[in-house]
Amino acid sequence: MTERRAGIIGMGHSFPEGVLTNADLEKIVETSDEWITTRTGIKQRHKAAKDEYTSQFGTRAAQQALERSGLSAEEIDIIVCATTSPDQILPSTGALIQAELGATNAAGMDLFAACSGFIYGITMVESMIRTGQINYALVIGAEILTKYVDYTDRGTCVIFGDGAGAAVLGPVEGGKGILSTKIRSDGRYEEQLYARGGGTRLGTSHETIDNREHFFRMKGNEVFKVAVRSMADISNEMLEKAGYTTADVDLVIPHQANQRITEAVASRLDVPMDKVYSNIADMGNTSSASIPIAMDECIQAGRIREGSLVLLTAFGGGITWGASVIRF
């Protein structure tokens, strides 16, 4: 098989119309706009309605990405949906999106890597495109996280939001594409960010519901330290592998977890904040959707253009982390 380089040839994003502001949260839980803003940088987050679900937004983002790529759904070989909030246990959200798109020649699947899911997805399909197994892939990060937060726990309910981002990947030429990418995990840190209910360990019962086991739990201080170190270290590793330094990077797009984490990662990488994109004030933490949403916003605003060297870096529950260096 002839090796070639994989790149991003179209992007899109989608999110619910509903908005939950910090002022709204002040009426629900003991918190304040000042407390939330100081600790997270978040002012608002999008919130799905009761009758909205993950695949709806994943499909809309994917349709937009397909239109911008100039490809039809039938030309896609695989759809990878990164999500921690699937429509249902079976079938996969990726398969449901495949059906909605009419991507009759594609395999559809879900990938579970929490907030690092989008980088996991592009890392996986990059090798498939590079080695000629497939030509085109859709990688989607889609989440409805507001249905998994405990609105009595101010440490988590103020953070998460809903939305989806999608990228079409295919072969590219002229020095463009994914120059380096790597993913990591360490399950020893599972208790830093978790939700125990609903799986085969505890199942779903009146007891697990009464104990609120199906909601996200997080140890914020511990997450902060490991996230900053992991994201910075793997970013430097991928830049070195690609033959660049942080001085060469035009834009850094980190997972939108927390503004303090973003600033600490930038400081550790010695990257000025004017080269670091942040939309967390308006979107909150959308887990696997945060990086593709941010990328598409940057493309549409002209912050990513032809020739731009972009560093993606993420960290999520599991724990998982990863980084990619891409030339557009």
| Residue 137: strand, helix, or coil | strand
Q: Is 115 marked active-site?
A: yes
User: Is 255 part of the annotated catalytic residue set?
Assistant: yes
Rounded-to-integer distance, Cα 78 and Cα 185, Å? 24
Tell me the one-letter amino acid at 170.
Answer: G
Q: Which one-letter amino acid corresponds to residue 238?
A: M
Separation between Cα atoms, residue 8 and residue 132, nearest integer Å: 16
* Residue 126, token pair as written in the block: 């990059």
Identify the active-site residue in 115, 157, 236, 298. Answer: 115
Give the helix/strand (H/E) hosting 211: none
Dist CA 54 CA 60 (whole Å): 10
Catalytic residue among 22, 236, 258, 285: 285
How many residues appear in the chain?
328
Name the H helices within 73-145. Answer: 93-101, 117-130
Catalytic hit among 46, 81, 157, 255: 255
Q: Indicate which residues carry an active-site annotation.
A: 115, 255, 285
